[in-house]
Amino acid sequence: MKLFSLASGSSGNCYLVQSSAGHNILIDCGLSAKKVQQYLAGFGVQIHQLSAIFLTHDHSDHVSGVGTISQRWGVVVYANSKTLEAARLRWEKLHRVAVEQTDRSGAADSGTVRPPAISKYNLQVLPTGAVIWFGSLQVSSFPVSHDAADTVCYTLRENECQATILTDLGCATNVIFEPLCRSDLIILEANHSLERLQKSRYPYYLKARITSDHGHLSNLQSGKILQEIIERSSPAHLVWLAHLSQESNQPEIAKHEISHQLEMAGIHKFPLHVAQRDKPSLQWNGEPAVYQIPMF
């Protein structure tokens, strides 16, 4: 199994997973179809070759390109029933807006092409907790606390290697630890620095939403989750920090605040990597993670 971060943040989230038998799946796609087509081409993948797209939840930074991809290329979309229904409504609204815009600009430019009428999305219900196989690649979900219709996170497993993508949640619940402790790769939300968020220009209601149990994880919360994983299992996890806020976080701040939390727990010099917001960045080739106890 290989896993690539194509984009991570409030302007779009998308991960590409490749099985050893050549299945290509996306976890979320909050990018335009055009952009994801361009990114996939960089990995030698044509968009029609996607075996599936899995949705964690229906917020636009996770689903905005999925309706077009499913409609145009017939790619199957898996999610639980509440997420599929909420995402479908969002895609239909996006389509209406696009039609209205082209109709308006079409009055001045007769060459404008109207978006095609919605035909059908290829949607498949995957109940939360169910497991689905693509050859030897296993995909399963578990629920998390976030303010969308019915948010989940995904675990991917093949040949004793496991990755878990844990973004978009407001607090740690017991159910997250078992899959995380067993994962070689952990993609962990580090959305904001609490101090930066409080000083930010965001209105009060937005700050309250982000810091609620149904919002997003702060660096401190992520550090505590990571500490608990390491204490329960081992430090042998590769960790990518993800879904950083542009307004109230920075890669160096996230790494510093999380490392500080770990240092206080006696976990020294734990390596942390940060997925970039708006372009493909990190890549994992399915190797088990190694942590070397620092000598100094």
Q: Which is nearer to Zn ion, 18 or 83 (CB)?
A: 83
Structure tokens at 276: 């970039």
Minimum distance between the CB of residue 153 and Zn ion, rounded to whole angstroms?
Answer: 11
CB crowding 45-71: b at 16 or more within 10 Å, else e = bebeebbbbbbbbbbbbbbbbbbbbbb
Least distance (Å) between residue 162 CB and Zn ion: 23
- Closest CB to Zn ion among residues 1, 244: 244
Measured from the CB atom, the residue of 170 and 235 that comes closer to Zn ion is: 170
As a whole number of angstroms, the distance between CA 205 and CA 218 comes to 17
The helix (H) or strand (E) run that includes residue 155 is: strand 152-158
Indicate the helix (H) or strand (E) that contains 210. Answer: helix 204-211
- What is the smallest separation between the CB atom of 240 and Zn ion, expressed in angstroms? 15
Give, for 163, the enclosing helix (H) or strand (E): strand 161-166
The radius of gyration of the chain's CA atoms, rounded to the nearest angstrom, is 19
**Smallest separation, CB 267 to Zn ion (Å):** 27
Smallest distance, Zn ion to C-beta of residue 74, A:
26
Name the residue nearer to Zn ion (CB basis): 138 or 278: 278
Is the CB of 182 or the CB of 207 nearer to Zn ion? 207
Closest residue to Zn ion, based on beta-carbon distance: 59
Q: Which residues bind Zn ion (CB under 5 A)?
A: 59, 61, 168
Q: What angle do CA 117, 119, 124 make, to 5 degrees?
A: 145
